[in-house]
Amino acid sequence: MTDLTAPSVQAADAVPARSRFPLHIAVFLAPALAIYTLFSIYPLIDTIRLSLYAGDETGVRSFVGLQNFYTLLTDPNWSVQFWNAFRNNLIFFAIHMVVQNGIGLGLAMLLSLPRLTGGSVYRTLIFLPTMLSVVIIGFIWQLMLNPLWGIAPSLLKMVGLGGFFGPWLGQESTALLTVSLISVWQFVGIPMMLIYAALLNIPDDLLDAATVDGAGPFSVFWFVRLPLILPTLGVVSILTFVANFNAFDLIYAIKGALAGPNFSTDILGTFFYRTFFGFQLQVGSPTMGAAVATAMLVIILIGVLIYLFGVQRRLQRHTF
Amino acid sequence: MTIRPGRIAVHIALILYTVLALGPIFLILINAFKTRRAIFADPLGLPNGQTWTTIGFDRVFANSDFGLYFFNSLTVTVVSLVLIVLIGAMAAWALTEYRFRGNTLLSLYLAIGIMVPIRLGSVSILRMMVELNLVNTLTALILVYVAQGLPLAILILGEFIQQIPKDLRDAARCDGVSEYRIFFSIILPLISPAIATVAVFTMVPVWNDLWFPLILAPGDGKQTITLGVQQFIGQYVTDWNAVLASLTLAIAPVLVLYLLFSRYLVRGLTAGAVK
């Protein structure tokens, strides 16, 4: 049997390692560590390294220190677009936090009502758009909102809001909001599911006790359930943050790399793509692209650190 | 059970939101089977004897390699998932079962990938793939997706492996079974229920991704279905039949799989794997 030819190091390895690292542990870990390090960690570190270089037309790279970041933040050719993308990304994130997570919380509250008929059917159906590709969702809504097809205006007319319709995706003033709401529409299922799971984990006796003590449904929600699901709301927030500051597909599918009209839907992901690959007359620059990616990395890390050390630590006190 | 007015309001709210969530998808699906005239004259109507047509699908198949794109996506997704589950389970097993120096450090190292999106390393990834001569190959995509999916898979599988009773492996060890054999013959078959959860978090993002196909494999017939649809619609943007048909073709497989397996997917999500 082949298994007997394998080195027969046994239960002894469950105790702390001795001088030699047990071979089988290394064998189990090696493939994951190799692929993860080579194609995930190394590229991230190499990107940070590249952001400190500048390349000329011949492709020769020279070390320039933090010059790229200085350019990115202060040179009007770059900084205007960078800060515009950053501001749009903040708005994109704020809309998700308020609308997506708000609706998600509301749906989860409804779905967690005791003895609700058809709860799993609602959950399955409402979660469905989340499974589809962002690109497909983008095209679907582009068609829905297309004045030429007229589905959105005629539906609005049915509920008496006909005059309200406009080419929302094409106007500078409404494009970002519209794109954000499309993304909200698609991903509302994720906060809904996570919060729903957290609500289910609250022991019934706790709610019963509160009710017996005379708390109304509103007080039960505000003083009992909400504090208990705060850790989950924290997780939902950080997941939203990372996903939003890394978003790209939806804007690219609906608006292209130029994130029009007039960069009004430009977020960091599309700005990174343009910087890296170039667009129209501007030539793409790997080193400036690396600088933008590093800036995004710093933004995401700041968010994650605020969550880990500010939010999560404080919230943990409320858990059981 | 008596019907309370409050309950009816709850159901009305949930039904309204469900309609909002499914309506747009439903409209795309029904209009894909209608003539151009019917699409515009009566967008909300179901296709009937007069308006029924599959001309959009005929055009999609005539003008693009949809079958090929579909096959590419399937290959990338399935191979990535198999590798993530196998390699991830091996690492999760090593990290949860054995105590060795550096264990915690390694777990933390692997956890970086859960929060930091690998996308931000794209500049270097593309450079590497150029050097390795892997641009416009499915291998490039698979390597990146495996690296991207491993951290979360290891976390989920690790939690799952911890719940497997210890007696099983201890009994095997007493019988002198090798560690490899314990993993491959005892542990691996037992973690199959966790695969559904891993699949939710790894397979769906891989199937739907646009970014890496766009930068690593944008041509040479190596497009995935998401990129293929994006390129196709860019070209045929005014041909409504073809656009609707291509969207339907992209939605249909996901829809069928989701409705078949939604029970497992939803269970995986609500099991609190990311708490």
Query: CATH code at A192?
Result: 1.10.3720.10
CB pairs under 8 A between A and B: 273
Residue A34 lies in a domain: no
Q: Return the minimum-mean-pLDDT range out of A29-38, A154-163, B236-245.
A: A154-163
pLDDT confidence of residue B274: 40
Given A107, A144, A193, which is nearest B270 (Cβ)? A193
Residue A105 lies in a domain: yes
Residue A238 lies in a domain: yes
Residue A267 lies in a domain: yes
Distance from CA of A168 to the nearest CA of B (A): 17
- Cα separation, B29 vs A181, whole angstroms: 22
Contact B170 A11 (CB under 8 A): yes
Q: Which residue has the higher pLDDT, A217 or A237?
A: A237
Contact B124 A6 (CB under 8 A): no
Residue A18 lies in a domain: no
Q: Return the minimum-mean-pLDDT range out of A17-21, A29-33, B76-80, B130-134.
A: A17-21
Given B14, B179, B275, which is nearest A122 (Cβ)? B14
Contact B91 A107 (CB under 8 A): no
Question: For A146, which DSSP code?
Answer: -
Given A6, A35, A231, which is nearest B178 (Cβ)? A6
Q: Mean pLDDT over residues A250-254, rounded?
A: 91
Residue A274 lies in a domain: yes
Q: Please write the tens of the pLDDT for every residue from A49-68.
A: 999 998 876 767 888 889 89
Residues of A in contact with B113 (CB under 8 A): 36, 40-41
Contact A8 B101 (CB under 8 A): no
Is cis: bond before B189, omega within 30 of 0? no
Contact B147 A16 (CB under 8 A): no
Total number of domains constituting chain A: 1
Question: For B3, which DSSP code?
Answer: P
Strands (DSSP E) found in chain A:
53-55, 61-63, 278-279, 282-283
Distance from CA of B40 to the nearest CA of A (A): 6
Q: Which residue of A has its CA nearest to B29?
A: A140
Strands (DSSP E) found in A185-318:
278-279, 282-283
Which tokens go with B135? 């641009």
Confidence category of residue B151, pLDDT binned at 50, 70, 90:
very high
Range of the domain at A216: 68-318
Distance from CA of B49 to the nearest CA of A (A): 22
Q: Please write the tens of the pLDDT for every residue from B46-74.
A: 888 888 888 889 988 888 888 899 999 99
Residue A50 lies in a domain: no
Q: Please write the tens of the pLDDT for every residue from A158-201.
A: 887 777 788 888 888 899 999 999 999 999 999 998 899 888 88
Q: Please write the tens of the pLDDT for every residue from B244-257.
A: 999 999 888 888 88
CB atoms under 10 Å from CB of A77, counted, come to 9
- Cα separation, A173 vs A259, whole angstroms: 13
Distance from CA of B165 to the nearest CA of A (A): 15
> In the predicted model, what is the mean pLDDT of chain A?
85
The HSE-up count of residue B167 (CA atoms within 13 Å, CB side) is 0
| Cα A138 to Cα A145, A263, B152, B212, distances in angstroms | 11, 17, 27, 18
CB neighbour burial string for A28-62, b if at least 16 within 10 angstroms, e if fewer: bbebbbebbeebbbbbbebbbebbbbbeeeeeeee
Residue A49 lies in a domain: no
Taking the whole predicted model, whether its pTM rises above 0.90 is answered as no
Collect contacts of B105-112 with beta carbons under 8 A, ≥24 apart.
B106/A29, B106/A33, B109/A41, B110/A32, B110/A36, B110/B150, B110/B151, B110/B154, B110/B155, B111/B151, B111/B155, B112/A41, B112/B151
Per-domain residue ranges of chain B: 5-59, 64-235
CATH fold of B64-235, please? MetI-like fold (1.10.3720)
Question: For B52, which DSSP code?
Answer: B
DSSP string over B142-174: HHHHHHHHHHHHHHHHHHHHHTS-HHHHHHHHH
Task: Round to the nearest angstrom and report the end-to-end CA distance of chain B.
Answer: 35
Contact B181 A6 (CB under 8 A): yes
Q: Which residue of A has its CA nearest to B4?
A: A116
In the predicted structure, residue A157 carries a pLDDT above the cut 60: yes
Distance from CA of A76 to the nearest CA of B (A): 24
